[in-house]
Structure 1
Amino acid sequence: MAKEASDLTTIDLFSDEKRPGRPKTNPHSRSVQVKINKRNQVKRDKNNGLKRVEFKIHQDLFEQLDDLAKVKGLSRGELIESILKNSMTATALNISK
């Protein structure tokens, strides 16, 4: 008997065929994987001496920071860090005068 792809009555003939898509390589669900990855990222950041800072800014300022970061070839976080460092240096110079 020939095997036809459109034959639904003999579906058992196709049970050994591989399904398309990426094979499952991790035993954890996606939500558990995300938690594990986030925990590992926090550990890496801590080992690198980094601290997390969150704040809210207006949408216009956010877009300006984003554009400037792209022009300078930096991430938004790196740009904000450099702006803060420059501001701290300038403030320290003004205090010492």
Structure 2
Amino acid sequence: MAKQEADRTTLDLFADDRRPGRPKTNPLPRQVQLKLNKRNQLKRDRERGLRRIELKVDEQLFSKLNVLANERRLSRAELIHALLLQQLATQGKD
């Protein structure tokens, strides 16, 4: 039997056709991959002695932190870390 390209009724003939798009490299669904990646990131942070804190600030302070971080070529987290250390150092001198 000849294979007709337009014939899609016999799917077994087209099982080996390559479909366009990104190849699947991980058998897990995307949501599970994200969950595992986050768990691994937290584990790496814990091993490095890092702890997570959350901070809510108003939009004006958030913008100022972004501008200052860009000026110093730091991430916002690095800037906040440096500012906290600086403040604690000055508190210790009093």
Q: Which runs of 4+ in 1 moved over 2 A?
A: 10-17
1:91 alignment partner in structure 2: 91
- Count the aligned residue pairs: 90
Give the drift of 1:17. 2.8
CA distance, structure 2, for counterparts of residue 21 and residue 72 of structure 1: 41
Deviates more, 1:25-34 or 1:15-24: 15-24
Structure 2: 5+ residue stretches without partners: none
Give the drift of 1:65. 0.3
2:52 alignment partner in structure 1: 52
> Normalized against structure 2, the TM-score is what?
0.85
1:18 alignment partner in structure 2: 18
Q: CA RMSD in A?
A: 2.0
Deviations 1:10-48 (A, max 9, x none): 235982431111111111111100110000000000000
% same residue: 46
> Normalized against structure 1, the TM-score is what?
0.82
Alignment of 1:31-50 (within 5 A): 31-50=31-50
